[in-house]
Structure 1
Amino acid sequence: MAPPPSPFFDPGTHAAPNSLSVLQLRRDHLIPAVLSASTESEYAEGKVENTRFGSFPHSTLLHQPWGTQVLASVVDTGSRGQKSKKRKREGDDDGQSTPVHETERARKDLVKAVTASSGFAHLVPPTPETWTLCLPHRTQVVYTPDYSYILQRLRVRPGDHIIEAGAGSGSFTHAAARAVHNGALEEAHPAITTEAANGDEHSMVPKARRKRRGGVYSYEFHAPRAKQLQVEVNEHGLSSTVKVTNRDVYEDGFCLEDEEAPDADAIFLDLPAPWLALKHLTRSPPSPAVMKSVASDPATPEPEPSAHIAQTSSTPKLFRSPLNAKKPVRICTFSPCIEQVTKTVTALRSLGWLEIGMTEILSKRLEVRRERIGLQEEGLRGANPSAATVQEAVQRLRDVEGRAKVFHGLQKEKQEEIARKVEAKKRGGKVSPAEEDQEAVSGKGKVKVESVPPSKHDRLERAKKELDNRELFKEGRLVHRTEPELKTHTSYLVFAVLPREWTKEDEEKANRKWS
C-alpha cells in the first residue's frame, strides 16, 4: 500500500488525522500541530493546543475544511490536570486502579468541547511559506523572499535534482522539495512495461511518465540538526523526495554510495566558507594549482592535501562528479559578509564557472488601505478620529469649552448650595421646603441641558446609527505604508553557471545533425 501523499504536495480539502496542519493566530503568528484523534491525554477533550487566544482541542480541528475559523474551547488546563494526577496518585496508594471501562465512559461524557466566549484561530494547510513562519528555529532560516528568488534563478523545475549544503532548520529544504516534486506523474503509472523501458513506440505510457523523480539532497554537518531534520522530513511525508545526510562537505564532498546520486542540476550552499566546498563541484578533477588556490583561506588554517585528493589528482578514474553531465548546472551561495563573496567568486572563476553575479534582496511588505479622517469617524474601525478641516477643529473646541463651562457652572452652584446649608446650620436654622421649591421654580440649582454640547457617548451613538447608510469601502483616501520590520535574512547571493562539457563525440554528433 502506497503511503499517503505529503500535505506539502497534496493537503486535500480537509484536515486529516495524524497529519500536519497550521493554526494561524495572527498574520505572522502561526503554530504547527500534528492532529491526533486519540484521547490519551490528561484532558477529557483529548490533545489540546493552548495559545494566548484560547485552547483548541484537536477534536474541533479534525475534518475541518482548510481556511475554517475555529472558535476556542473552554478547557480547564489547571485543575483537570491536577485532578487526574491526584487521582492517579490515590489509585497507586490504595493499590487499586480505575477500571478501563469507567475511564472510557468518563471520557465519552466529557469529550465534546464547549465553545468559549472569545478567541478564534484559522486552520490553514501546511506550505513552505507557512512552515517557514512556524518551524522550530535551530539556526537562522532562509525566508520566503530569499528562497523564492533563489529557486527562480536556479531554474528549478519538477524532476530536477538539487544539492543543499547547510540544511539548518529546513526552511529551504521544504521549498525545494515542492519545487522538484513530480512523484504524482510516476504514481499515476507505477508499472512500466519492458517494452516501454526498451523504448517501444507503441507503449501506452507517455514519455513524460518515464522522467526521473525529483529529489533534494540535503547535507548538514551538525549531527543533532541533521537528525531532527530527518525526523521532520519523515513526519511530513517528504522522505521519498528529500535525502538528509550528515557529512562534512568540505572534506567528504557530495557523492553518495549510490553511483547515480546526486546527479544535481542545481546547487545551493548555505555554508560559512562555500569556496572550500567548490572543489568537489566540478565535472573533472581540478589541477593541484587550482586546488591550492581554492583551498586557501586566511581565516582558517590551510588544509593539507589529503591522500584522497592526491589519489584523485593522479588517477582521474576514481573521481566521480556529483553534477548532471547532460545539462548546465547552476549554483547559488548564501553569504552574510562581502569578504565571503570575494573568496567565493575567486574560487568560482578558478574552477571554470561562468556568468558570475551577486544579488542582495531587501523585501518590504506594503499595506494598502483607505485612510478615513474626520471627527465623524470616531469609534469606527480603521479610521482616524481627528479633525479633517479647520471648521471641524473649531467646532470641537467650542463643544469642549461649552461642556467645561457647564461643568464649572454646576460645580459653582453645588459649592454655593453647600455654603448656604453650612451658613444655615451656623444660624441654627434649616432651609424650609418652601424655599427649596422656590429655588427649583426659579431655576437655582438646576441647569438647562438643552444647550449642552454632545458628549462622547452621544457622538458614538450617532456614528453607529449613521453607519448603516454609509459605504465605507468608497470613503477615504487610498494610501500605502511599508512594514516597520523586515522579515528576511540580509545576505548576499552569488549565482553562477557551469556549462556542460563538450566532447569530440558531441561535436561529431552536432556536425552530422546540422551540417
Structure 2
Amino acid sequence: MAIASSSSIREGDVVIVYERHDRMKAVTVRKGGELQNRFGVFRHDDWIGKPFGSRVVDKKKGSGFVYLLAPSPVLWTLVLSHRTQILYLADISFVICGLELRPGCVVLESGTGSGSLTTSLARAVAPSGHVHTFDFHEPRASLARKDFENNRINNVTVGVRDIQGQGFPEELTDKANAVFLDLPQPWLAVESVLICLRPNASCCSFSPCIEQVQRTCEAFRKYNFVDIRTFEVLLRSYEIRKEFLTDISVNNGEVEDASLPPQKRRRSDSSEKPRPDGGDAPNPSIGAVMARPYAETKGHTGFLTFARCQV
C-alpha cells in the first residue's frame, strides 16, 4: 500500500493540513490552489516539492503556520468524510490484531462504508496482500473507490454487492485469510464466510446491539465455528497540561487549596519551611502538570465478535 508514493509532496497528492490535534483537514494539492483558514492564506504551489511533515508559514502575515502531513490510516480516520458510522482507532487496532493480519493476507470486508477500516486493513496486509471490500450502495462504493485512488492505495478492490442476500462472490471461495462483517444482519452472511475462509482463519463481526451479537453467535455455532468471543473496546483519553494555581499555600512542600474551609486544610506546624525570599505570604502561583480524562470521551461504539473456522 502506498498512501504517499514519494517523500515529497506532488500535485494531486492528498495532504493532511494539521492545525492542532483536534483540527485537521484533508486537502488535494493543485497548482494555483489556495487554502484559507484562521492562520492565514497558504498557496498550494508553495507546498509542491516540500517533504511531508513540513511546516509552512503564511507569507502575507508571516506569523501563522500549519503542518503538511502524509495521510496515514490513523490520520485518514480522523479527517475522512463520514458517509456512514465509522470504526475508530481502538476498534480498528483490535480488529487487525484479532484477525492476525500480516503482509500477504487476503481480506474480505462488507460493508465498505466510509472506508476507515478498509484503509487500515490495506496497510496491514501490504505490499503483497489484498482487500476485497463490498458495499450494496453504488454511490457510496464509488466515493470510497475515489478516496482509495486519491490516496494511492492500490491493493483494494471495491465491489457493489448485497452480501447479506447474495453472499461473497464464488471466485473468492477458500481464498480469504480473514473476513470482516459490518452488516445489519451479519448472521445471514455466516454460511458464505465459511465457504470463503481458509482453514483456521478468522472472522470478525461488528454490531452496535447485543441482540445482533446473540444471533450472530448462534449462526457461528450452527456452522461449527470455534473460539467464539465477543469484546467491547472502551477508550479513555487523558488531557495533560500545565496549569497555574493562584490561590494556594505551601506546607512542608505540599500544595494546599486555600479556598477550602480551614478545617479541611492540613494544619501548619513549627517545621513549616520559610519562603526563599523571606516573605510571609504564600507564593502567588505554582505551576503543576495536571492529568485528567477529557470531559467528553467516546464510550460504547459497538461489539466485536470473533470466530475461527475449524481446520
TM-score range normalised by the length of the shorter chain: 0.7 to 0.9
Aligned to 2:108: 163
Picking from 206, 212, 218, the partner of 1:334 is 206
How large is the RMSD of aligned CA atoms in angstroms?
Answer: 2.5
1:129-165 CA distance string (max 9 Å, x none): 1001110110111111110111001100000011110
Deviation per CA, 1:168-206: give whole Å up to 9, x if none: 000001000000012xxxxxxxxxxxxxxxxxxxxxxxx
Q: CA deviation at 1:262?
A: 7.5
Q: Does residue 33 of the first structure (1) align with residue 10 of the second (2)?
A: no
What is the percent sequence identity of the aligned residues? 34
Does the 8 Å CA contact 2:179/2:193 hold for their aligned counterparts? no
Distance 1:262 1:479 in 2: 53
> 1:61 is matched with which residue?
47
Q: Which residue of 2 aligns with 1:244?
A: 158
Deviation at 1:14, TM superposition (A): 2.4
Give the superposition deviation at 1:116.
1.9
- Residue 181 of structure 2: aligned partner: 269
Q: 1:487 to 1:50 in 2, by over 3 A?
A: farther
Higher strand share: 2
Q: For residue 269 of structure 2, what is the aligned residue in structure 1?
A: none
How far does the alpha carbon of each residue in 1:453-485 deviate from its partner, in whole angstroms, 9 at most, with x for none? xxxxxxx9xx9xxxxxxxxxxx85454211222
Separation in 2 of the partners of 1:172 and 1:235? 17
Q: What do residues 48-84 of structure 1 show as CA deviations (whole Å, max 9, x unaligned)?
A: 1222333221012222222222223xxxxxxxxxxxx
Quote the Cα distance in structure 2 between the aligned partners of 1:67 and 1:229: 26
Any runs of at least 4 consecutive aligned residues in structure 1 with deviations exceeding 6 A, and if so which? Answer: 390-394
Which residue pairs with 1:222 in the alignment?
137
Q: 2:305 maps to which residue?
A: 494
Contact 1:255 1:262 in 2 (8 A): no
1:342 is matched by which residue type in structure 2? Q
Asked whether the 8 Å contact 2:110–2:183 carries over to 1, the reply is yes
Contact 2:113 2:135 in 1 (8 A): yes
SS of 1:142's partner is: coil
1:233 counterpart residue number: 148
* Higher helix proportion: 1
Shift of 1:249: 0.6
Contact 2:179 2:197 in 1 (8 A): no
Q: Tell me how many residue pairs correspond in the alignment.
A: 282
Unaligned ranges ≥5, structure 1: 38-45, 73-113, 183-212, 283-320, 370-381, 395-459, 464-474, 501-515
Q: TM-score with structure 2 length normalisation?
A: 0.83
Aligned pairs for 1:19-418 (under 5 A) are 19-37=13-31, 46-72=32-58, 114-182=59-127, 213-239=128-154, 241-255=155-169, 259=171, 263-282=175-194, 321-324=195-198, 327-369=199-241, 382-389=242-249
TM-score (norm 1): 0.51
Matched, 1:14 2:8: yes
Deviation at 1:322, TM superposition (A): 2.1
